[in-house]
């Protein structure tokens, strides 16, 4: 009688566990990697960035519309202070958004953004933007935040984007953890206040 060897479950389980771990790691990394890819290439309507304004201005004009939204759990109020602006291609434009924290606690936020139609995203270039850094609003604080930009003149050479006569710039604010340096500073300030009170 021929006896079959007992299957080695360890040989099967170890590769499966490794595969599950790898899949989880890739899924976790896919979001920031995709965001980085979009920022670099303009894919998916993500604008480019520049350190200086453009010097070449064309006669062509494009209407820029502004949109604002909040992630589900973000407690701020957030809206554009103008809904439309018409600028010449290559010329500098500036728009303003307003954010308000109606809560009784400091709230940190970060803005994600995109431009539609997607074909124009890579030509929408930001010079300065509140979305480049984290924002922290104190309880009851209201701020006006600028964004300066231009439409790259190369848009007129794109076989699809050259027909675009209006674009929409959209921002979505979502809540993030308070920065560590902010927490440390706040804790130190509270300690000094308490220390003064005790001395008195």
Q: Is residue 119 part of a domain?
A: yes
Residue 186 token pair: 């706040």
Cis previous bond, 117, omega within 30: yes
CA gap 26, 20 in Å, rounded: 10
Q: Is residue 125 part of a domain?
A: yes
Q: Is residue 128 part of a domain?
A: yes
Strand-pair partners of 128: 148
Return the pLDDT at 172: 97
Q: Is residue 41 part of a domain?
A: no
Q: Per-residue pLDDT for the chain (200 aa), expressed as one digit of tens each? A: 444 455 555 554 545 445 545 444 444 443 444 344 444 444 444 555 545 555 689 999 999 999 999 999 999 999 999 999 999 999 999 999 999 999 999 999 999 999 999 999 999 999 999 998 999 999 999 999 999 999 999 999 999 999 999 999 999 999 999 998 776 555 455 433 333 333 33
CA gap 62, 170 in Å, rounded: 16
Q: Which of 145, 136, 125 is nearest to 176 (CA)?
A: 136
Q: Is residue 10 part of a domain?
A: no
The secondary structure of 113-171 as a DSSP string is: EEEESGGGGGGEEEEEEGGGS-EEE-TT-EEEEEEEEEE-GGGGGSTTGGG--EEEEEE
Return the pLDDT at 35: 44
Q: Is residue 131 part of a domain?
A: yes
Q: Which structural domain range is residue 89 located in?
A: 46-182
Return the pLDDT at 45: 45
Q: Is residue 26 part of a domain?
A: no
Return the pLDDT at 49: 55
Our count of domains for the chain comes to 1
121: domain CATH number is 2.60.370.10
Return the pLDDT at 46: 52
């Amino acid at each position: 009688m021929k006896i079959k060897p007992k299957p080695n479950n360890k040989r099967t389980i170890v590769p499966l566990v490794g595969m599950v771990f790898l899949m989880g790691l890739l899924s976790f990394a896919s979001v920031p990697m995709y965001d980085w890819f979009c920022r670099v290439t303009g894919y998916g309507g993500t604008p480019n960035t520049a350190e200086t304004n453009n010097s070449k201005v064309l006669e062509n004009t494009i209407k820029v519309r502004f949109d604002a939204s909040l992630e589900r759990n973000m407690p701020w109020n957030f809206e554009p202070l103008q809904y439309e602006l018409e600028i010449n291609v290559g010329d500098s434009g500036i728009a303003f958004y307003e954010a308000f924290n109606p809560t009784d606690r400091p709230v940190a936020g970060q803005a994600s953004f995109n431009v539609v139609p997607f074909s124009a995203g890579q030509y929408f270039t930001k010079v300065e933007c509140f979305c480049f850094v984290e924002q922290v609003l104190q309880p009851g604080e209201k701020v006006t935040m600028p964004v300066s930009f231009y439409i790259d003149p190369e848009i007129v050479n794109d076989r699809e984007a050259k027909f675009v006569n209006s674009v929409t710039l959209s921002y979505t604010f979502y809540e993030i953890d308070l920065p560590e340096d902010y927490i440390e500073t706040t804790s130190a300030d509270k300690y000094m206040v308490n220390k003064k009170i005790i001395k008195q």
